[in-house]
Amino acid sequence: MSRVYPVILSGGSGTRLWPISRKHYPKQFLKLTSNYTMLQETALRLKGFNNPIAVCNESHRFILAEQLSGIGKKPSALILEPVARNTAPAIALAAFQAQKMNDDAILVVLAADHVISDEDAFQKAVELAVSEAEKGSLVTFGVVPNKAETGFGYIQATEKEGVSAIKRFVEKPDFETAASYVDSGDYFWNSGMFVFKASSFLNELKEHNSDMFDAVNASLDNADSDLDFIRVKTDDFAKSPSDSIDYAIMEKTSNGVVLPINVGWSDVGSFSALWEVLDKDENGNVGLGDIKYIDSKNCLVQSENQFVATIGVEDIVVVGTKDSVLVTKRDRVQDVKAVVSHLEATGRTEHLLHREVHRPWGKYDSIDNGNRYQVKRITVKPGASLSKQMHHHRAEHWIVVSGTAIVEINDKETLLCENQSIYIPLGATHRLTNPGKVQLELIEVQSGSYLGEDDIVRFKDEYGRS
Q: What's the one-letter identity of residue 190?
A: N
List the one residue out of 411, 405, 389 whose CA is nearest residue 442: 405
End-to-end alpha carbon distance in the chain: 40
For the chain, what is the largest distance between any 2 Cα atoms, rounded to a whole number of angstroms?
Answer: 75
Question: Mind giving me the DSSP string for 356-392?
Answer: EEEETTEEEEEEEEETTEEEEEEEE-TT-BPPEEE-S
Residue 322 in contact with residue 355, Cβ under 8 Å? yes
Residue 448 CA to residue 425 CA, distance in Å, equals 10
Catalogue all structural domains in the chain, each as residue range(s) with its CATH number: 4-266 (3.90.550.10), 271-339 (no CATH), 356-460 (2.60.120.10)
pLDDT by 10s per residue, the chain, length 466: 679 999 999 988 888 999 999 999 999 999 999 999 999 999 999 889 999 999 999 889 999 999 999 999 999 999 999 999 999 999 999 999 999 999 999 999 999 999 999 999 999 999 999 999 999 999 999 999 999 988 899 999 998 888 999 999 999 999 999 999 999 999 999 999 999 999 999 999 999 999 999 999 999 999 998 878 999 999 999 999 999 999 999 999 999 999 999 999 999 999 999 999 999 999 999 999 999 999 999 999 999 989 999 999 999 999 999 999 999 999 999 999 999 999 999 999 999 999 999 899 999 999 999 999 999 999 999 999 999 999 999 999 999 999 999 999 999 999 999 999 999 999 999 999 999 999 999 999 999 999 988 899 999 888 776 6
Residue 198 CA to residue 107 CA, distance in Å, equals 6
CA distance to 41, 52, 56, 69, 72, per residue, from 62 (Å): 18, 16, 10, 10, 15
Cβ-based neighbour number of residue 245 at 10 Å: 25
